[in-house]
Amino acid sequence: MPIIPEDATLDEIAIGLAPLIAANAAFDGWGAAARDAAADGAGVDRDVALLALPGQTEMIAAWFRSIDADMAERLPPATIATMKIRARITALVEARLEIVAPNREALRRAFAILAMPQNLATGAKLGWSAADTIWRAAGDTATDYNHYTKRTILAAIYAATMSVFLDDESEGWADTRAFLARRIEGIMRFEKTKAGVLARAAYRPSLSRFIGRLRYPAV
């Protein structure tokens, strides 16, 4: 059970309560009943919990942020640094599967809420944030267009993997792990192909460079 200090900020309270709410959400849904039960269990005043987590999307977002924190704790930089990039992404996503595994029904309900028209933007933002957190934890420091392409692709893969996971009854989620492995292989092939294209592009004739040489010939 999360330990929430008496002097915790509202944000800290939200993160601390979120896993407890998720544990109740499978039965009570993502609503006041689950929040109140979590607050009572953690010794937090219900009115304070309401301030920290006023609605369903805030509760779900806080849960996802708590998953980020748990993932980082399970796979610190020193551990990640010993892995190749493919293994890093795989390990980080699989860690998230293990974290949410006890609350798969809560995750199913969360996805249903985020799929509502009024919550689509929030769902997309949370998916992007998860992908960004995973890439950063993997050591990615790209700031150019690679920053966006990597996250866009991983966000789609992560969402698809979680969808498979929700209905996976195979031992140790073998089917989900195999699905994830195939999709990550696709990322690696894409990155390899892209690198080759960019390398070849660097040696293509450039009209602007050619005209520049005509105007300013080398001395």
Rounded CA gap, 189 and 174, in Å?
23
Q: What pLDDT shows up at residue 145?
A: 77
Amino acid identity, residue 4? I
Q: What pLDDT shows up at residue 144?
A: 79
Read off the pLDDT of residues 76-112 as tens digits, 9 standing for 90 and up: 999 999 999 999 999 999 999 999 999 999 999 999 9
Q: What pLDDT shows up at residue 210?
A: 46
User: Which pTM value belongs to this model?
Assistant: 0.84
Q: What pLDDT shows up at residue 15?
A: 96
Q: What pLDDT shows up at residue 194?
A: 57
Rounded CA gap, 32 and 37, in Å?
8
Q: What pLDDT shows up at residue 219?
A: 44
Read off the pLDDT of residues 116-127 as tens digits, 9 standing for 90 and up: 999 999 999 999
Amino acid identity, residue 121? A
Place of tokens 């769902």: 123
Residues of the chain with pLDDT under 70: 1-3, 190-219
Rounded CA gap, 67 and 119, in Å?
20
